[in-house]
Amino acid sequence: MSSEIVVLLGDVRIESQALDSLVEEFGWSLKKVQDVHGLAQPNFDNNLIAVLFDPKSLSLPWDRALRVILEAAPRALPILFHRFAEAIDWPQVADAGAFHSLQLPLNQCEARQTLGFVWSARRRSTAVSMACHPDLEPADSRQTQQFGARVARAAA
Residues in the chain: 156
Count other Cβ atoms within 10 Å, centred on residue 139: 13
Domain parsing of the chain, residue ranges: 5-155
Does residue 54 sit in helix, strand or coil?
coil
Closest alpha carbon to 38 in 7, 59, 17, 67: 7
Say which CATH topology domain 5-155 has: Rossmann fold (3.40.50)
pLDDT 10s digit of each residue in the chain, 156 long? 458 999 999 999 888 789 999 999 999 999 999 999 888 876 667 899 999 999 999 999 999 999 999 999 999 999 999 998 998 999 999 999 999 999 999 999 999 999 999 999 988 866 555 455 455 554 444 444 444 455 445 444
